[in-house]
Amino acid sequence: MPETITSHYYPSLCFRGLKRLGLAGSESTGEDKDIGEEIGEIGKYFKFNPPMAGGPLFTLVYQIPGYLDPQGPDEMLQIFDGVKQIVESKTIQHLQREYPERTSEWEKWYIGSWFDLICEPLLEDQDKVYQLIDRFADYLEELWPQFEAEYSNWRQEFAFDEWDSQLPVVEVITAWEEVTDLSYPYQKFSLVICPESPTKASSLGPEKIVFGARHGVNLAKRSLVHEVGVRMIGFHRLAEHPETAQIIADDHKGMLRLIEAEACFRKPQVMDKLEYLADQDTFKEGMQLGDLVQMRSEISEEDSLFDTLATWHHRAKKEGLL
């Protein structure tokens, strides 16, 4: 299995840009606040505006280029064109054709309900969507050479090998496979270390997350355990299983919360197998999953995890937890 710890320039470039634009909340520095206000005026229709960029359009312009790891500004702009095609066509086929090796895991992640969740809110005003994507891309193209040397210096000094030796991804995956009785659905798992981002776990897609370097390797272990657990079930399996196919088609967002809660529910067993000290689950608290996890503990195991998820979803909807 390839190395666990890696770095991609784009996530750090993107977050540095958001800071300068005043679109990064309390992390904002605001050097380019005037451009940020211009972008935010367009982006307010999609929650891509001060004080914190968010919403489905942010998901697209952060995750897709962040995952594909453009090697220069020209390739970044090409990927942004691909993002516009995702909005228009609700498929990833064009990017799969352009980057077959880099997108080999995408079929298992980008299922129909994901496109409904992300793209549907953007279809009402595609002109504004494309206008914002182009403006943000142009801004990052200008920023690319300005930030590159600083990022390169950080990368040379960061202890990648030391972190990699302390993050036993194979052991973590094995522990989850034993606890869930499922095979891990991807070929690898990578933590993309970012000097700019405050995140403890920001998804880039199937088997990659961004992790803020400031948090240190011990917290990275916790994020590794949680995020591998979140990926064990697999969107593709949920979409194919007769007990969950219609549920995820109708309620992708709700099923996402159940997947996160399931990881929190089973995590103590995994931590025990890894002989990690179980402590306060910041993921459960931060995502306000406590009630869902409690409900899960009261549900008897059924024939399969998918049967259990279907029962859980029904009860959670009935009680207003989803």
Residue range 273-290: average pLDDT? Answer: 86
71: helix, strand or coil: coil
Q: Compute the Cα dihedral for 65, 216, 173, 229 and give only its sign.
A: negative
CA dist., res. 105 & res. 2, Å (int): 14
pLDDT of residue 124: 85
Q: What are phi and psi of 49, to 5 degrees?
A: -155, 165
Task: Give the neighbor-by-neighbor strand order of the sheet with 5-6.
Answer: 5-6, 190-194, 208-212, 202-203
User: Between the CA atoms of 92, 97, 98 and 104, what dihedral angle is there, to the nearest 10 degrees?
Assistant: 70
pLDDT band at 301 (very low <50, low <70, confident <90, very high): confident
Count other Cβ atoms within 10 Å, centred on residue 285: 11
Residue 205: pLDDT over 80: yes
Residue range 23-48: average pLDDT? Answer: 95
Are residues 79 and 68 in contact, defined by beta-carbon separation less than 8 angstroms?
yes
User: Between the CA atoms of 130, 136, 137 and 140, what dihedral angle is there, to the nearest 10 degrees?
Assistant: 180
In terms of pTM, does the model score above 0.75? yes
pLDDT of residue 275: 87
CA dist., res. 200 & res. 210, Å (int): 8
> Residue 202 forms beta bridges with which residues?
210
Residue 172: pLDDT over 70: yes
DSSP symbol at 187: S
Residue 315 amino acid letter: R
DSSP symbol at 51: T
Q: Which of 132, 112, 101, 102 is nearest to 21 (CA)?
A: 132
CA distances (Å), origin 91, targets 83, 116, 257:
10, 10, 24
pLDDT band at 42 (very low <50, low <70, confident <90, very high): very high
Tell which wins on pLDDT, 302 or 291.
291
DSSP symbol at 72: S
Report the relative pairing of strands 52-53 and 190-194 from DSSP bridges: unpaired
CA dist., res. 20 & res. 159, Å (int): 27
End-to-end CA distance of the chain: 36
State pLDDT tens for residues 218-277: 999 999 999 999 999 999 999 999 999 999 999 999 999 999 999 999 999 999 999 886
Residue 119: pLDDT over 80: yes
pLDDT band at 3 (very low <50, low <70, confident <90, very high): low
User: Encoding tokens for residue 186?
Assistant: 């991807």
pLDDT of residue 1: 57
> Residue 194 forms beta bridges with which residues?
212
Residue range 294-318: average pLDDT? Answer: 94
Count other Cβ atoms within 10 Å, centred on residue 89: 12
